[in-house]
């Protein structure tokens, strides 16, 4: 059975991606060398739902469900800033920058995506939606280096900027030796109110 690796996300505009690249360059300079594997800026998305390996014959149903989930939503204003790490600053494994949308519209959109995909066999996440953009993954380091990295992330002050999200994308992720290659399989416009 043929499968594709899929996720549903909001693509970032070019200005935000450039600013994220500059932020990553600053972080590389300010953190212990070789400790973090940084994500290429063009590979950064605001993921709403990760589906994983999906049989190719289910792609059209997933596309229709995503279109249905997006239909009642209007464009969103997103503020991107505030560094953090998962699971916590004492044991950082993922370095991220937060996405803030104070009206709750982003959370409602994400819940609708989850709701429309559940009947297709993709249950909601077990944890609450935490909108973020993954900047890098920690790939090792002793306790002192990890603690230093977590402390730096906790005190760093960043403000990447704001953007208007006008669509949601169904994205295929092909994992290749040189890194993941992303292909949009569908774009679903968030209609003006």
Residues belonging to the active site: 45, 132
130 CB contacts (<8 Å, ≥6 apart)?
none
The answer to whether the bond into 87 is cis (omega within 30° of 0) is yes
DSSP code of 93?
Answer: -
145 CB contacts (<8 Å, ≥6 apart)?
32, 35
d(CA 58, CA 85): 34
d(CA 158, CA 138): 20
């Amino acid at each position: 059975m043929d499968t594709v690796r899929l996720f549903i996300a909001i693509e970032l505009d070019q200005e935000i991606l450039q600013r994220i690249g500059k932020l990553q360059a600053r972080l590389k300079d300010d953190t212990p060398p070789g400790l973090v594997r940084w994500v290429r800026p063009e590979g950064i998305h605001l993921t709403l739902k990760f589906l994983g390996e999906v049989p190719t014959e289910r792609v059209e149903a997933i596309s229709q469900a995503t279109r249905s989930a997006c239909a009642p939503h209007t464009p969103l204003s997103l503020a991107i800033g505030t560094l953090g790490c998962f699971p916590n600053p004492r044991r950082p494994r993922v370095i991220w920058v937060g996405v803030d949308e104070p009206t709750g519209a982003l959370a409602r959109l994400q819940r609708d995506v989850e709701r429309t995909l559940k009947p297709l066999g993709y249950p909601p996440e077990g944890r609450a939606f935490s909108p973020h953009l993954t900047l890098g993954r920690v790939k090792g380091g002793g306790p002192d280096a990890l603690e230093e990295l977590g402390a730096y992330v906790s005190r760093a002050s960043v403000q990447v900027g704001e953007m208007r999200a006008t669509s949601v994308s169904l994205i295929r992720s092909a994992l290749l030796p040189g890194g993941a290659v992303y292909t949009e399989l569908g774009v679903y416009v968030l209609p003006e109110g």
